[in-house]
Chain A
Amino acid sequence: MDPRSEMYKNRYKNFILVTTVPVFAFYVAFMIVPIGMSLFYSLFDWAGFTADMDFVGLSNYSSLLFKDEIFRTTIINSLKYVIYGGVLIFAITLLFTYRISNFKSKRLKDFIQMLLFVPNTISPVALGIGWTFLLNPRWGAVNNIIDALGLGAIKRPWLSEEFIFASMMSLLVWIHVGFFLVMFLAAADRIPPSLYESAQLDGASTWKMFTTITVPLVRDIISTSVVMWIIFSFKIFGYIFAFIGGAASDPPVNIRNIAVQLYLTGFGKRTPLYRLGYASGMGIILLLLVVLLTYIAQRLFRTTETLEF
């Protein structure tokens, strides 16, 4: 369609007016305007939906960033989830892409893809609690398996303060490898086989072909995936919330991220805090971190690209 043609333009005007305009208006009202409202609230001391609001300027932010040690821990945890989690997930996903894209059988390929994706379709609450069953030091499957293999020495209290972050991370990695694998494999499948043929004649190993042909050609999808992971990981909530059967108490500080801390501050659970201005400040910091990391990630991929080509 030629978008400049007057005839079409007129005919589409009403269509745009009745479809796009209202949806955009709703979207702005329910998702964009609230960001502004959060920013506004974050300048107030506000102890509950019915309480009065006291203007305090940026003091919520200075407390959040410089005084509140629990919040600082949750920022660090959020960054650990995104960075450590990202490195593990993408390293494993790349390795699996390497192996699976070399499968001859399409059926086996599809089956493994499907199997590893399943955790992404399951309620985070079910996975959070299921994973703690698995890691239960007394009757969980992991320690039982370790015992059965006669490796008693590597048994650990997986849910103790010391290991709980790693346990949480293992769940997140296990889930998301399956997600990104689907994307990587689809991208790898689009590479024309002819590109591999001459390398094969030269006797290149599958690993060599993977690193020199496949990886550079799926770079786009890797960069999209990294951005998606940044967005996903900051939002992670249910897994953490339901971990250790979470319901009996607030989730331990060791595994809390900003998103969970914000909920606890704003809406409370065991001990409602209802510090709404303060929690709004957390929300703004959360959003800024997502934007900042997304920007950095995109810059990183762009610069390496220009260096290489």
Chain B
Amino acid sequence: MRRLRLSEWPRYLVSIFLLLWIVFTVFISAWLFVSSFKSTREIFQGMWKLPSKWTLDNYVRVLRDFGLARYMANSLFVVTVATLLVQILSTPVAYVLARLKFPFSPFVLLCFIAGIAIPVQTIYIPLYLIMKEIALVDTYTGIIWLYAITSVPFAIYLLIGFFRSIPSTLEEAALIDGASAGQAFLKIMLPMARPGIISSSIYVFIMTWKEFELALVFLSLEEKKTLSLGLYSLITRLTYTGDWAGLFAGVILVVVPSTIFYILVARHFISGITAGIGKS
């Protein structure tokens, strides 16, 4: 065993704090999970008792009767298409901005990067008018498009970091051999930037999956709602009927899939994000 050293007291103190933080996080997750199997009455009776019987009643109710399954399917569709669209739009642009100089290129870059800071609420009202004008309010196309265009700035920011880190010799060789710019991009740069594209896709996927404020304004039809928005309307309906147990199950159903997805991709994600941010 290592000897306790007086000069190391900050480390011991922070260890305790960190441990408490972790225990708290794990404990409340477990509490939410266990409670989601209880009846509302059992939830009110306090947290220390386990559910009298472990049934999936709450889950079946919110998934089927309250349409959470539908919301999930909607989100999966909208978010997948939006993520693909973001990559298609931003990857070539990031490549161009990372590698080439053309008139106004610093200005274009600056505009895109500044977009990261624009709060979506600032443009709520004009966007609503524009989307109404082109008949995209309350449509999948509309929300997909909004997710894509609002994610483009950050995706470009991340991808530029990656493109800058790729050596240019291969690309130059291809150009000397007479490849077109499109060929050099598709055949040489794209494969090399794959880790960057994967991590920016994951980032966009996760951020769009949990998105709420755009959906709130641009989707009002029950059958088109995404998961965050659907959970919100579930809250409205379940608090009126006092069905807290159902709400616990709803929360778990929202939390668990994204957590599992995140754990599966965490390695790519963390290294990708930090590498991209560090470099640009």
Residues of A within 8 A of B (CB): 1, 3, 7-8, 11-12, 14-16, 19-20, 23-24, 26-35, 37-38, 41, 49, 95-96, 98-100, 102, 110, 112-118, 120-126, 129-130, 133-134, 138-139, 141, 144-145, 148, 174, 177, 182-183, 186-187, 190, 205-207, 221, 224, 231, 234-235, 237-238, 241-242, 245-248, 258-259, 262-263, 266-267, 276, 279-280, 282-284, 286-287, 290-291, 294
Among B53-61, B116-124, B192-200, which stretch is in contact with chain A?
A: B116-124
Known interface pairs A139-B46, A263-B213; A241-B92 also in contact (CB < 8 Å): no
B residues 105-142 near A (Cβ < 8 Å) are 108, 111-112, 115-130, 132
A-B contact pairs, 17 of them (CB 8 A): A1-B171, A3-B100, A12-B100, A19-B92, A19-B93, A30-B130, A122-B210, A124-B228, A125-B232, A125-B254, A144-B46, A174-B25, A177-B21, A224-B277, A241-B216, A258-B121, A259-B121
Give every chain A residue within 8 A of B262 (Cβ-Cβ): 114, 117-118, 121
B18: chain A residues within 8 A (beta carbon) = 95-96, 99-100, 112
B226 CB → nearest A CB, Å: 9
Interface size grouping (class) on chain B = 35 or more
* Beta-carbon contact of A8 and B121 below 8 Å: no
B130-176, CB < 8 A from A: 130, 132, 146, 149-150, 152-153, 168, 171-172, 175
Instruction: Establish whether residues A284 and B254, one from each chain, have CB atoms under 8 Å apart when the complex forms.
Output: no
| Residue pair B270, A186 in contact (C-beta under 8 Å) | yes
The answer to whether A263 touches B121 (Cβ under 8 A) is yes
Q: What residues on B are CB-neighbors of A38 within 8 Å?
A: 122-123, 125-126
- Do A121 and B210 have beta carbons less than 8 Å apart? yes
- Complex-state Cα separation, A232 to B185, whole angstroms: 33
- B3-19 vs A, CB cutoff 8 Å, 1 = contact: the mask equals 00101101100110110
Task: Write out the residue numbers on chain B whose beta carbons fall within 8 Å of the beta carbon of A266.
Answer: 124-125
> With A and B bound together, what is the CA distance between A235 and B122 in angstroms?
10
Cβ-defined partner of A35 (8 Å) among B92, B118, B239:
B118
Q: Are B121 and A262 in contact (CB under 8 A)?
A: yes
Shortest CB–CB separation between residue B94 and chain A, in angstroms? Answer: 10
Is B266's beta carbon under 8 Å from chain A? yes
Residues of A within 8 A of B227 (CB): 123
Determine the residue in chain B with the shortest Cβ distance to A247.
B236
| A30, A206, A248, A266 — most chain B CB neighbours (10 Å) | A30
A3 touches B277 (CB 8 A): no
B31 — which chain A residues lie within 8 A by C-beta? Answer: 134, 141
In the complex with contacts A126-B251, A130-B251, A26-B212 CB distance below 8 A:
no
A residues less than 8 Å from B216 (CB atoms): 241, 263
Cα of A287 to Cα of B122 in the assembled complex, Å: 7
Cα–Cα distance between A110 and B111 once the two chains are bound (Å): 35
- Are the CB atoms of A27 and B270 closer together than 8 Å? no
Set of chain A residues within 8 Å of B43, measured between Cβ atoms:
139
Contacts of B21 in A (CB 8 A): 96, 116, 177
Q: Complex: how many Å from CA A273 to CA B115?
A: 29
Q: Mark B248-263, 1 if CB is under 8 A from A, else 0.
A: 1011001100110111
Asked, given contacts A20-B108, A112-B22, A248-B236, whether A283 binds B175 with beta carbons under 8 Å apart, the answer is no
Are B212 and A99 in touch, CB under 8 angstroms?
Answer: no
Which of the residues A14, A16, A28, A34 comes within 8 Å of B130, measured between beta carbons? A34
- CB within 8 Å for A283 and B100 given contacts A123-B254, A183-B277, A187-B278: no
Is A99 touching B15 in the complex (CB atoms < 8 A)?
Answer: yes
Residues B248 and A133 in contact, CB atoms below 8 Å apart:
yes
The contact string, 1 if C-beta is below 8 Å from chain A, for chain B 265-280, is 0110011011101100
A258 vs chain B, min Cβ distance (A): 8
User: Contact at A283–B121, with CB atoms within 8 Å?
Assistant: yes
Partner of A241, one of B14, B22, B115, B212: B212
